[in-house]
Structure 1
Amino acid sequence: MSIVDEPGWKTIKIKGTHQENVSEAIAAEFPLTLMLDGHEFATIVCSPGQLEDLVVGFLASEGVIRTAAEIKEIQVDVYTGFSHIALHKPVQPDQFDHSSRMIGSCCGKSRQFYFKSDARVAKTITSELEVTVDQCMQLMKRLMNSSPEFERTGGVHNAALATPTDLLFTRTDIGRHNALDKVFGAMLQGNIPARGKLVVFSGRVSSEVLLKISKMGIGIILSKSAVTDLAVKLADELGITVIGFLRGDRMNIYTRPDRVLGIDPYLQRD
């Protein structure tokens, strides 16, 4: 199933005084309900691609699993919109302080649930990885050039696992949280260690995004977009380097600038 709705939507496009009928490519939106050990756990509104990565990453982000090996079986049925997951150690609904939820594609979940879940699995990062200013700019350029879906629709987010010199793989979704969960799921399923890796991201870095990065064990996140105050406070506490507004030859380093080579030492003083 494509993450771009085909063949497109009949649209009236206006530019200045010119008007025309066009077939416009738009991003597909898909509800996926997770059935965990026979119980309805959540419905995620997402893009219909790399769904197994999304399910695994989402469960890890929620603190349900720590490794992919904890999953006994996983089935994703795009025709019915259900994913059935069985764990080696089955869970009961009362193990998680929530009822079944709708997880929107953009805004994440209720802060009450988010903090209860994340308090168990967020961790301080001690990564010794370093990057140069030029490497940051080149990685963001590669991310933005790697998404034909964004070029066609303008309606998706991209996240990539990378080394300082190259993108290892990219995941795309209408939801920025979903894109990161897909990266997390791919790391877990592929047994890819976080050591020596960073994340390149198109979306805003909120506190929820920052905590996902912490759970992944990543020490550096590069974002094209803005950050929030709670995100940078958490990043400072958890030892994560946050770089935002990375566009062209511009970037803002908010936390842990010691991991970025080429910065004037005078600017790093408190």
Structure 2
Amino acid sequence: MDEERVKYEIVRYTLSNVETVQDHIVVERPVTIKVNGEELLTIVSSPQYVKDMVIGYLVSEGIVNRIQDIESIRWDAKDGFVHVRLTRALHPLSQQMQMKRYLTSCCGMSRQALIFASDAKTTKVMTSRNVIISQRQCFQLMNELQEHSSVFRDTGGVHNAALATKDGIVVMRVDIGRHNALDKIYGHCLRNKISLEDKVLVFSGRLSSEIVLKAAKIGSEVILSKSAPTDRAIQIAKEQQITMVGFIRKQSMNVYSCAERIYEDKSGATP
């Protein structure tokens, strides 16, 4: 597994001083996915948990219907290729829509249209109410995410995402791309048969439409973030009946959709 961060010698200026120091820099790598021997697309990402990311991407985007369609997957870190062998031929429409795409680490660049054809196929309307969570538990989960965000503290260059129960984080991933971090979590869950029905997504980055769509594909009822949403993200969250909470900072947070999954805890305990 490649390093998450490397050290570079830099010159640091302040108003009163100039010094040469060693700084931690986050690692970025292109990852090219080949399916049944054919190049499908290239994703720019952090080079950890690459196979999970690819599995999560392929299933969430509807390129494969389920993890059982993947016969084998091999990550060649030296050459930057992930070789995926399916139990069947790749659907011609998927191949045509994805072929030769290059997905940058910046959300929004990975979509050819506002709503991709695969979105209608794979998004889920979250009509169930398996997750009912208090505002104090929301604060606690965000605090736990930040406490474990060592790569971000060292580099400032990654997004953090976690899958959690109401009581704590189950799995956490970081990546230079917000959508990549979620794909890594989803791939991990698929490989290890972890249900998302009673789980919450905890997230450090902006809640864009792409991120909410990814949550809808994964099947998450609740997504928590310390950052802001976009108006389109709120619209999609309402359409998909996802509870979206943003600006979770100190002792304040905003609920933008489906607030019935959040209840007030007046126990007096400190979040």
Residue 263 of structure 1 and its aligned partner are, at CA, apart by 8.2
> Where does 1:209-224 land on structure 2 (aligned, <5 Å)?
209-224=211-226
Gaps of 5+ in 2: 267-271
Correspondent of 2:202 among 197, 200, 204: 200
CA RMSD of aligned residues (A): 1.6
Supply the distance in 1 between the matched residues of 2:34 and 2:263 (Cα, whole angstroms).
46
Q: Is the 8 A contact 2:206 2:229 kept in 1?
A: yes
2:122 alignment counterpart: 121
Displacement after TM superposition at 1:202 (Å):
0.6
Choose which of 136, 139, 145 in structure 2 pairs with 1:137: 139
Q: Distance in 1 between matches of 2:218 and 2:112?
A: 20
Match of 1:75, SS state, is: strand
**How far apart are residue 66 of structure 1 and its match?**
3.1
Q: Which amino acid aligns with 1:35?
A: K
| Alignment map for 1:37-186 (pairs within 5 Å) | 37-98=36-97, 99-107=99-107, 108-112=109-113, 115-128=116-129, 129-186=131-188
Report if aligned partners of 1:257, 1:263 keep a CA contact under 8 Å in 2: no
- Cα gap change, 1:3/1:147 in structure 2, threshold over 3 Å: closer, same or farther? farther
Deviation at 1:3, TM superposition (A): 4.2
Would you say the 8 A contact 1:2–1:48 is kept in 2? yes
Q: Which runs of 5+ in 1 are unaligned?
A: 265-270
Shift in Å, 1:65? 2.0
One-letter amino acid matched to 2:84 = I
Residue of structure 2 equivalent to 1:187: 189
Shift of 1:92: 4.9
Tell me the amino acid that sits aligned with residue 72 of structure 1. Answer: E
**Aligned letter for 1:124?**
V
SS in 1 for 2:116: helix
Letter in 1 for 2:101: R
Q: Which amino acid aligns with 2:40?
A: F
Per the TM alignment, residue 93 of structure 1 is displaced from its structure 2 partner at its CA by 4.7
Structure 1 stretch displaced more, 94-103 or 106-115 = 106-115
Q: Distance in 1 between matches of 2:173 and 2:92?
A: 30
Contact 2:220 2:242 in 1 (8 A): yes
Residue 4 of structure 2 aligns with an amino acid whose one-letter code is: V
Q: How many Å apart are 1:114 and its aligned residue?
A: 5.1
Q: Does structure 1 conserve the Cα–Cα contact (< 8 Å) formed by 2:5 and 2:25? A: yes
State the TM-score, normalizing by the size of structure 1. 0.93
Counterpart of 2:178, as a letter, is R
Does the Cα contact within 8 Å between 1:127 and 1:218 map onto a contact in 2? no
In 1, are the aligned partners of 2:5 and 2:151 still within 8 Å (CA)?
no
- Between the aligned partners of 1:124 and 1:263, the Cα distance in structure 2 is 27
Q: Is the 8 A contact 2:56 2:185 kept in 1?
A: yes
Assess if the C-alpha contact under 8 Å between 2:4 and 2:48 holds in 1: no
Give the Å deviation of 1:113: 7.9
Q: 1:223 deviation in Å? A: 0.6
Who is 2:240 aligned against? Answer: 238
**Secondary structure of the residue that 2:181 maps to in structure 1?**
helix
CA contact (8 A) 2:40 2:95 kept: no
Q: Is the 8 A contact 1:156 1:173 kept in 2?
A: yes
Indicate how the Cα distance of structure 1 residues 72 and 169 shifts in structure 2: closer, same or farther if over 3 A, else same.
same
Q: Look up the match of 2:269.
A: none
